[in-house]
Homo-oligomer: A and B are copies of this chain.
Amino acid sequence: MADFGLIKSLARKTDTKIVMLVMDGLGGIPHPETLRTELEAAETHNLDRLARASQCGLSLPVAHGITPGSGPGHLALFGYDPIHYLIGRGILEALGLDMDVRAGDVAARGNFCTLGPDGLITDRRAGRISSDVTPGLTERLNRVSLRQAQAIARPGREHRFALLLRPAEGGPPLSHALTDSDPQREGLAPLPVTATEPWGEHTAEILNAFLDRATAAIANQHPANGLVLRGFSTRPDLPQMADVYGLTPIAIAPYPMYRGLAKLVGMNVVEAGDSIDDQIETARRHWDEHDFFFIHYKSTDSGGEDGDYDAKVEAINRLDRSLPALLDLDPDVLIVAGDHSTPTALAEHSWHPVPILIKSRHVARGFTEAFSERECLRGMLGTISATDIMPLALANAGKLDKFGA
């Protein structure tokens, strides 16, 4: 829901604990030959047993037919209407690189590219330069000095980087109402940044000055002798989970982007460890201090994005083997969800509804016999909006008062 008024008015603090395990890109579609989805092919004895004792269903991250990015997918799981609360691509990229994004900063995604002698882009990805080379290039960008702002670049994988433009102390505020400099095609020159609102002109001037000087600073490099920027955006001002739910949430996520998303909604983001077993151990260590635990499992999505069916199946198997350690924590409410589907047949995020299970002492059971897309269809939850998951979690944890007399 876009407005947390009702939930906020009913939320009450209790000692009960909620664990939300997000298996990134969880949902899939049948393999063209075996007709089994990755979840159906996986050995999920633990998840299946859990599903039989849970309320199961399918969750829609945004709406039927809409394929969400990681930002909307996670915001919906945290109960935030993903259409109302938008997070720009630049911000998401900066968060993904663990940058310290502050209120007032304008963020952008950057690519290093190859420019021909005529200034036209000959390769948008500069031959996918090695990730070892990129830090030297961003180092040159960081030495570019600007009036009334500071540019902070951080290297990503291969040709990618993120840029933060930070207003000078006491200087005028910056705007994200800007067009991309990335023409998104080869054979064209990088575009000047232009303002889409009058109040963006000052920032466009600063960025064009930056782009000129930055291009000059790497002009003698090869093959990455140019750069383009896109997705200008600022840090959104999101309601905090402590305020709207009365929770004391913690994020146990190894990957920077999810850590950044968790920070935006007010979670305590801690050192997670590398494996899911480490993450569960981290949850145990912080068990007494928190009442909401967001645990992010990335491998399911990675297998899906790579179009590697076996890798995704094995990622599910691995999670299933670690599940008993999570159950040992004995949370009052355990949610196993996904932020979106990533079918290996598509090798990218998709719009398909995502299996979800909610386990508590107060379960109304349907007909689900295993944890899979089809079996969850037979669950008592039916197909719900992902933004309904948090109210259900709070209700099952006894953290919501009755509405009305």
* A interface residues (Cβ-Cβ under 8 A, vs B): 6, 10, 27-30, 35, 37, 58, 62-72, 82-83, 86-89, 92-93, 231, 341, 343, 345-346, 348-353, 361-367, 373-374, 377-378, 380-384, 388, 390-396, 400-405
Contact = CB atoms under 8 A, between A and B. Distances in A.
A68 B362 contact: no
Secondary structure of the A side of the interface?
loop
A178 to B, nearest CB: 17
A365 B394 CA distance: 31
B346 A362 contact: yes
A8 to B, nearest CB: 13
A402 B349 contact: yes
Q: How many copies does the complex hold?
A: 2
Contact of A404 (B87, B383, B402): B87
Given A65-B392, A65-B395, A366 B377 contact: yes
Contacts of A378: 367, 377
Contacts of A350: 362, 395
A82 B402 CA distance: 13
A374 B380 contact: yes
Contacts of A373: 364, 380
A95 B200 CA distance: 50
A58 B363 CA distance: 15
Contacts of A68: 402-404
B384 A374 contact: no
A70 B390 CA distance: 24
Contacts of A88: 405
Nearest to A64: B388
Contact of A405 (B67, B87, B364, B401): B87
Contacts of A27: 364
Given A65-B391, A67-B395, A351-B395, A29 B405 contact: no
A23 to B, nearest CB: 17
Contacts of A403: 62, 66-69, 72, 82
A362 B83 CA distance: 25
B351 A405 contact: no
> 6 tightest A-B contacts by CB?
A65-B391, A64-B388, A69-B404, A65-B395, A72-B404, A65-B392
B62 A405 contact: no
B86 A404 contact: yes
Contacts of A394: 65
A382 B383 contact: yes
A170 to B, nearest CB: 32
B363 A367 contact: no
A210 to B, nearest CB: 22
Contacts of A383: 382
B69 A402 contact: yes
A364 B352 contact: yes
Interface centre among A63, A65, A92, A348 (most CB of B within 10 A): A65
A89 B362 contact: no
Given A404-B86, A405-B93, A405-B231, A395 B66 contact: yes
B71 A404 contact: yes
Contacts of A405: 69-71, 87-89, 92-93, 231
A29 to B, nearest CB: 5
Contacts of A361: 345
Nearest to A93: B405
Contact of A367 (B35, B70, B83, B377): B377
